[in-house]
Each structure stands twice: as structure tokens, then as C-alpha cells.
Structure 1
């Protein structure tokens, strides 16, 4: 076929696609509006950070800020600390995830269910809540610190690099665990049984069969935890002991020095690994299914031998007990005057008017953002699954990319874009809502696409044959069928928005505050009692949402 014929064929195909796209004009217009919103609220802020990092002088763009970055050992230390903490946190999280998943997927006992519940418990709290608990226990005047000082005269403090690592492990562990546990639960048990029948010990079977079959989930878990730990800024602020980390230094440059250019440079070094990992995971790991060879339930996996079971149970029990201890410290700190010093019961920490106002604002903002995110995700899921949209794959990629962009980068980008003409939204509740919405719409999109794949298109065809137009069919047939995905996306977005902090902290104006940001400020000021009280209330709210989400998943089969 000649080049001219090929060009004509492509042109004809494009014209045909465009005609089909505009055959339902309202859906076409809606698609274009959503595409414009994705570009404005996800893509443009990231590019704004990139452009800002090059600064401007009389000669145009400059590399001065990059030169300053590479010339100062302080920023080099920030990179080393961030990378080192992220790598260590990832290794520890993956190791613990494998250990707990091995037991949970091979047992249906009460202990197994208890391990699973405790492993997911950190999801209900902001990641920095564990820094607060560690300070209560191991800070300069911590409960255990004082005991060690008086008993054996050893001075100890959790502040510094290792405090950040421990906090990140506790905070981001559930993310890694859910991916590893899901992979191990869905793997075929036949190869493990075959390995055992051939005389291999269980340790060898785990090394040669189980872990290689779980490689996809373990890799995804490691990549995701690494990105989240790298972008963490709250834990270094609270428990870092003054050591520089990329995300926290970017925040301090914006808030303390108003140096947006240098902060943007640090943001670029946060976004590059996130982008690389997101592309790798999206295009190279998304369809990997080695672990589901036969699709048999993980409940029939080979039971653990006595030695392996003893080993993993020892590790699991110690770690789960530590997680529970962290939450217990927060609860106790909320109900005593000064934990470890004056343990008199009190409710005065709950009487803070500013705290309740920030909590009300968080509930309101998260509720509106959850409705918007779930609605947009549902609409996108339907359009992407059923309509011939030009550039559909690109739009889906950009939508999901909002989940991968570090919050610090997105926050700086929003400040750059919406703090001048034509948009003056910085400091408004509307901008906070938009930020939360477009960072979470990828969840509703994935849930809706998954649900649309379960809906037979013949139902829409039957509605059309009976005289209903495409819009009425969507309202009467599709919307009710997508309602479980909408509700699941709503609950998930509300739950995560309540504890989000990394991007919205840049958008808070005087007189407006959010619960997570307020708790962070209290923790920085060492007002442990009030911080614990507000954390306790926030945990109760988010825990209720998590319970509702699990109920929805059980009733509808829509998994988030």
C-alpha cells in the first residue's frame, strides 16, 4: 500500500471517528469539558512547577536555581536523606507485608483476621500521627525515654533520620500490604503443593515458588511505597530533628522564604521518580498476571510448616503490637493532661474551639470533594468504556496521573496557577475542594470502568430499541447500575481527603483550617494533648468511613 493511500485511510478513519464522537453532542461536549478540567487541575500545575524551576531573569529562563541546588551540600543532603529513608522504608514495608500476607492467606483463624485488621488500621489516620505517637513514647520527655533515663541513665531520643523511617514504615505499610496480600491470595497453590511433593522444604518453596509468583504485587507495593515515602513532608517536619528532606524543605521554602523558584526545583526532583515509576507501573506491570495461573482461591494455599509459622508469627505479633501501641498512645494522650507526666483524666483537650471549627471545615470540604470526584469518575468511566473518544488512552493516563503526583508538587503548582490572573482562587475553600477532587478522581474512574465491564451493552441496545435516546438510557439504565461504584468512590475519596495534608497545606488561608493541617501545627508546637484529641476524633470518623467502604465492597462486589 502506497504512502498516499495510507494517509487517506488514516484521514478517513479520523473523520469517521469524529463524526461518531459528535453524533451525541452533549456527551462530546461533556468529554471536552472534563478533558479541559483534567488539563487545568492536574497537568498545568505540574508544568507550572517545571517552568518555575527555571526562573526568569532579563535574558529569559535561567538555570541559576538548579546551579544553587547542586552547589549547596544542604540540598544534596536532602536528596540523600529522602532517598535513603524511602529505600529503607520500602524494604522494611515489603518484608513485613510478605510476612503478614504469608500467614493471613494461609489461615482463616481469628489471629489471621486480627492481623489483617491491625495491618489496615494505619489507613484511618494521617501518616504523621505515628510521629506524634513516637514522640509521646520516645521523645525527649517521652514515657519510655524517662523510664530509661531514670532506670539505667541512658539518654535517648527518637528525633532524626530513624524516627522518620519508623514513622514512614508505620504510615505507609497498609498500602504495600494490600497489594502483596491480594497477590498471594490469588496465586495458584498447585505449584507450591508440587514443590512440597517433590521434597523441597517450605523455606525453599517460598524462595523458589511463592515469592517469584508474587513478584508483580511485591514490585508494585515497593514502587508505590517508595514514591509515597519520597514525597512525605509531614513526618520529617515533626520528627526529623532538623535534618533536611526534599518535600519538607520545599514546603519551608514556600512558607518561610516565599522562594517558589527554589521550591519548584525541589519539586522537580520529587516528580521525576514519581513519573518514571507511574509510567513503568502503568505500562509494564498493569497486566502482569503470572501469579493467577489457575485462578484458584488463596484459601487452599499450602499451610505453613511449624518453623515458618513460628517465624512469621513472631515478626507479625511484634509489629502488630507496635501498631496498636501507637494508637493507644494517641488515645491516652487525648484523655490525660500530660501523658507520662500528669496522667490525670481530663476532657479539656476536646474543648478547643479552633479544633472543632477545623474539623467541621474538613468534613464539609471532604464531602463536597467526594461528591465531585465520584461523579466525575463515574461520568469518565462511562464515556471511556462506551464512547469513541479521540485520545482516550491519553486522557485516562492523565486522570490516573493525578494519583501519582506528589502532594507537595501539586500544592506548589496550585499556588503558581491560581494566585494570579486569570484565576484568583488561592486561599479559598473552592480551591481546596478542587485540589482534593482532581487528586482523587482516578479512583472513581477505575471503579466505574471496572463496573462498566460487568454491564452487558445489550441492556443499552434494548433501551435504544424501545425508543429511549442515549441520554435517557444513561440516566435510567447506566446511572443506577453505576451507583455502587459511585458510592465506593465517594466513601474512599471522603476518607482519604479527611487525612490528606501534603497539597492542601499550601492552600490554607488565615481563618480557614483543616483538621489534618491543624493537628500537624499542634504537633509541631509540642501541644501533644490537643493534637491527640483531634487525632482521636479524626480517626473515629475515618474508621467509620472505612467500615462503610468495606460493607459496600461486600454488598456490591466493587473493590477499590
Structure 2
């Protein structure tokens, strides 16, 4: 049994750290407020969903809702479709990303540069935009559908499981591509040259050297795409043709049947893969790419051989052309009366008061959310990088986990927590702002931490030696230096808030409708012209944000 002096000795380091934490009380208070906000707006909604799935809140603990899930073939079908579509989407996205990344990183011409830009275009639109384009081309009365029917007879339609998969491939492709392209661009070219010098052909070198060096980036890309496709909410609603998927079924359970308990069960099956992937990426794959770490050799990437180049150019050209076609369909649909039927030029689709109202609401909510997300992220980054905070790693983990939680789960969680006392916020602008803010603060925090590591502590020490206290040093020295990560975090948060849908769809009211959800409703009703017009406006806005973000990244070196 430990003696009292021994216990006191063990407590001394903790007491010293706690005293150091409170040595600057305003920063300590700010840390506590931030920690409480993370628990309320990120952690609590997830736990609320978990608890609701066991019936807690109805008066007793029960497994009946899990039994209902496992006994109903309907929900098993939703789970199977979600998993299968996520696996197929991931495999195809990785294949396409590797091919296009190889061409872009190993070829320097105007075509490869244009491919790089076009490959990122799906970032500027919600994933369901591509379901809209697929409807225009391959729907029951689509342009291609009518042509094929006239030519060969019969009836073809994109609606169903494969329509969802195609839309997911296009929508989530940039996520996989960016990670793989970055990894391949920074890989160690000397190892590939060595393999070729030893007599290996380029096909064999790709399999034994190039792809193994990019393994970490490929795995990260695959995990992210899998989780995003698994949690896809909007594409099954628009183009699923009645097929069951987990996220869309959870939404229908909440909105159509008000069965929050069973919706929570479906949410649990969405949380678990996201949590596993997030922990794996955070603790096992972080900075583990040997090729990237050792890649600063000064050697240029190995040029592609004729056979390899012919293959990757063919694959890349076909997919890039398909991406362009998707965007062209949206643009044409916005400026003609009924695309494929009456192609007369018109601007009447833009004369939509409800659409403009929802757009203005989205701009307002996204702007406020982006300001808050960037500001809170910067403050968090400063505190985590410079201050002795107890449980720092845990709160950093929880902040970043907000990025990983599927939007459907977060939306259900917010309904459970903020739809009654003491926080009755459902249907207000405030809950939309809070939801978007705390789902994005991890980006600003990471950018701020990265920037703080670049700022020498001698600057703060010099300010202190000149008589400035810690708070004045923060405002006068550090805040001006943190403007670049703030701007980058703001633009990213604004851009992603404009196209977000899966969480806020649970929280809107007739007075707080957002443009992405309005477009989703139009697409579900097959109002292609109106949906295309509002999509076109949103794409232009988000494309401008993406261009501005790339400019900020280029000028500051801060990557989001």
C-alpha cells in the first residue's frame, strides 16, 4: 500500500502541469470553453445516436431495434447495397486516380495540366449534381436513352444501384486523386531509375517500385473514398430507383416515419466504419510514406514509356471527357427549355424567387460558419501548439473526428439533442451555423498548428522581453502571422458548407432552406431546368472559392 508521501510525489507532475495551465487564466478559460463546445457539438450528437439506438430516452434499455434491423431483409439489403457500392466505387476511383496521377506527374504538356484541373472539378459541386447529369443523359427520357431506344429498341434507364455507383465514382474521385497525385509527385524517382537501369521494364517497375512507394497515399485514398461512398445520402435518393441504402433509409425513417430509434441503429452502422478508418489513418498511416519522406532527390519523375503512356492516356482521356460531359449537361440544362426535347435558349429557369432566397440563405449561413470555423480553428491551433493543455491529444482527436463522422449521423444527433429543452434550436439559423462550424473546425486547427510550427518561439520571447504580456503578444505578434491559415480555413469551410447537405437536411425549416437541399428536392421531382440553373450558380460560386483557395495555397505554402 502506497504511503501518503508516495502519493503526493506521484501527484506533483500533474499539479505542476495544472498550475502551469492556469498561469495564463484567459487562455485556460478559452481552452475550457472550446473543450466544452467540442463535447456538446461533436461528441454529444454521436453519443446521442448510439444511446438512442438502444432505446435510451424511451424509459428502458432495449436491443429490440437492433433485432428489428437484423430480422428485416429490407435493412439487410440497405447494408449490402451500401457496402457493395462503396467497395466498387473505391476500387474504380483508385484505378482511375492512379492512371490519371501517373499521366499528370510524369508528363509535362498542356494536356496533362488541363487534366489536372478538370480532375478537381467535381469538388465544386455536391455529389448529387452528377445524378442530375446522369438523369439528363440516361434517365427514362434521357438524351442517350431515347437515341439507344430508337436505334436498338427496348428501354434502358440509369436508375438503380449502378446509377448510384457511377454518380459516386464521379463525385468522390477528386478525394482519391488528390492524395494519390500528391504522393506520386513526391515519390523518390531515383528508385524507379535504378529499377530501369537494372533491366526492368516500366510495367514491372510500376508494380514493384512506383505503386509500393505510393502505398500509403493509395491506402488513405481508398479508406476515405470508401467511408464517403458508404455514407452517401443524396445520390440514392435521386437516382437509386427505389434501391435501399443506409444513409438515405435513415433519412426516410426520420422524416417519413419519425422512427428515430431505428434511424439511430442505421447511423451506428455508418459510424463504426468511419471511426475505424479515422483511427487507422490518424495513428497508423500518419506520415508513414517512405517514398514521400525520402523523395527530395532532385531527380525528375521517370517519363512514361510508349505502351504505358498509351494505356494511361486512353483511360484518363475517357474519364476526363466524361467529367466534362457531366458539367456540360448541367450548364445546357440551365439555359434551354427542356434539354433533349426543346433546346430553345432561355433564362427563365433563373427567374426563381425561391431558389434565390435559398441561395442567399446558403451564402449567409456558409459565411458565418466559415468565419467561426476558421477563427475557432486558429485559436485551437495556437493553444494546442503553444500551451500545456491536459488531455491535448484527446481533444485534438475529437476535433478532427468531427470531419470523419457521416453527415447523416451528425444530423440525427443534432435532432436528438437540440429538438427540446434545454437547447431548442431545430429549424433555426443558429443550429445550421453550429452544425457547419463544428464539422469544419478541424481543418482550420490543422492549418494553424502547421503554421505555428513554422513560427520561431523567439518572436514571442522577444515580445515578452520588451514588456508585452502573453495576451498582447498573441494579438500583436501571432494573430497577424496567422492570417494566411485563417484565410485558407475560411475559404475551405465556406466552399464545403455551400455544398453540404447530409447533416443540415435534418435541421432546416421552410424559413431556413438552403440551396443544396433545394436543388436536391428539384432533382427528386425531375425539375431538371430549375435544378440545373441553381446548380450552375452554385458551381460558379464554389469554383471561384476553389480558385481563391489555390491562390492562397500557392502564396502561403499552406495546404488544405
Q: 1:128 to 1:299 in 2, by over 3 A?
A: farther
3-state SS, counterpart of residue 303 of structure 2: coil
Asked if the contact 2:128–2:234 (Cα under 8 Å) also holds between the matched residues in 1, the reply is yes
Residues 49 and 412 in structure 1, CA contact (< 8 A), matched pair in contact too: yes
Q: In structure 1, how many angstroms separate the alpha carbons of the residues matched to 2:299 and 2:291? A: 15
CA distance in 1, matches of 2:413, 2:391: 25
**Comparing 103-112 and 399-408, the one that deviates more:** 103-112
Instruction: Give the Cα separation in 2 of the matches to 1:184 and 1:482.
Output: 30
CA deviation profile, 1:97-135 (whole Å, cap 9, x unmatched):
100111111122111111100100000000100000000
Q: How far apart, CA to CA, are the structure 2 residues paired with 1:65 and 1:337? A: 48
Q: Deviations over 1:28-78 (max 9, x none)?
A: 000000000000000000000000011159871111111100000000000
Calculate the TM-score normalised by the size of structure 1.
0.98
Alignment of 1:347-362 (within 5 A): 347-362=347-362
Q: Does 1:146 align with 2:107?
A: no
- The answer to whether the 8 A contact 1:185-1:299 is kept is no
Q: Determine the structure 2 residue equivalent to 1:241.
A: 241
Cα deviation, 1:163-188, whole Å, max 9, x if unaligned, reads: 00000000000000000011111111
Question: Once the 2 structures are TM-superposed, how far is the Cα of residue 7 of structure 1 from its aligned partner?
Answer: 4.7
Task: Assess if the C-alpha contact under 8 Å between 1:172 and 1:225 holds in 2.
Answer: yes
Per-residue displacement from partner, 1:457-477 (whole Å, max 9, x unpaired)? Answer: 000000000000000000001
Unaligned runs of 5+ in 2: none
Structure 2 matches for 1:437-452, cutoff 5 A? 437-452=437-452
Q: Distance in 1 between matches of 2:124 and 2:507?
A: 23
1:525 aligns with 2:522: no
Alignment of 1:370-449 (within 5 A): 370-449=370-449
* CA spacing shift, 1:25–1:304, aligned 2, 3 Å: same
Q: Which residue of 2 is the match for residue 457 of structure 1?
A: 457
C-alpha separation between the residues in 1 aligned to 2:331 and 2:152?
28
Partner residue in 1 for 2:24: 24
Query: SS where residue 426 of structure 1 aligns?
Result: coil
> Structure 1 residues 299 and 78 mapped into 2: Cα distance closer, same or farther (>3 Å)?
farther
Question: 2:103·2:112 contact (CA, 8 Å) conserved in 1?
Answer: yes
CA distance in 1, matches of 2:259, 2:294: 56
Q: How many residues align?
A: 559
How far is the alpha carbon of 1:10 from its aligned partner?
A: 3.4
Q: Is the CA contact (8 Å cut-off) linking 1:135 and 1:239 kept in structure 2?
A: yes
Deviation at 1:501, TM superposition (A): 0.2
Q: Does 2:289 align with 1:265?
A: no
Match of 2:164?
A: 164
Q: Secondary structure at the match of 2:13?
A: helix
Contact 1:246-1:266 at 8 Å conserved across structures: yes
Q: Please show how residues 231-310 of structure 1 align to structure 2 within 5 Å.
A: 231-296=231-296, 300-310=300-310
Q: CA contact under 8 A between 1:278 and 1:401: conserved in structure 2?
A: yes
1:291, distance to aligned residue in structure 2 (A): 1.6
Q: In 2 relative to 1, CA 524–480 (structure 1 residues): closer, same or farther, beyond 3 Å?
A: same
Query: What CA deviation, in whole Å up to 9, does each residue of 1:209-256 have, x standing for no partner?
Result: 011110000000000000000000100000000000000000000010
Show the 5 A alignment for 1:300-379: 300-379=300-379
Deviations 1:153-210 (A, max 9, x none): 1311000000000000000000000000111111110110000000001000000001
Q: Is the 8 A contact 1:138 1:158 kept in 2?
A: yes
Residues of 2 paired with 1:298 and 1:214: CA distance?
18
Distance 1:297 1:535, change over 3 A: farther
Would the aligned equivalents of 1:369 and 1:433 in 2 still touch at CA under 8 Å? yes
**Equivalents in 1 of 2:297, 2:140: separation in Å?**
49
Does the Cα contact within 8 Å between 2:275 and 2:404 map onto a contact in 1? yes
CA RMSD, 1 decimal: 1.3
* Partner SS, residue 32 of structure 1: helix
Distance between the aligned counterparts of 2:334 and 2:91, measured in 1? 33
Relative distance call for 1:59 and 1:256 in structure 2 (3 A) is closer
For residue 344 of structure 2, give the secondary structure of its aligned residue in structure 1: strand
Question: What SS class does the counterpart of residue 453 from structure 1 fall into?
Answer: helix
For the residues of structure 2 that align with 1:9 and 1:187, how far apart are their CA atoms? 50
| Alignment partner, residue 104 of structure 1 | 104
Aligned-pair CA distance for 1:503: 0.1
Question: What is the Cα deviation at residue 297 of structure 1?
Answer: 6.6
How far is 1:292 from its partner? 2.1
What's 1:155 paired with? 155
| Contact in 2 for aligned 1:128/1:234 (Cα 8 Å) | yes
* Residue pair 2:213, 2:289 contacting (<8 A) in 1 also: no
Tell me how far apart the structure 2 counterparts of residues 293 and 549 of structure 1 sit (CA, whole Å). Answer: 25
Deviation of the 1:79 alpha carbon: 0.4
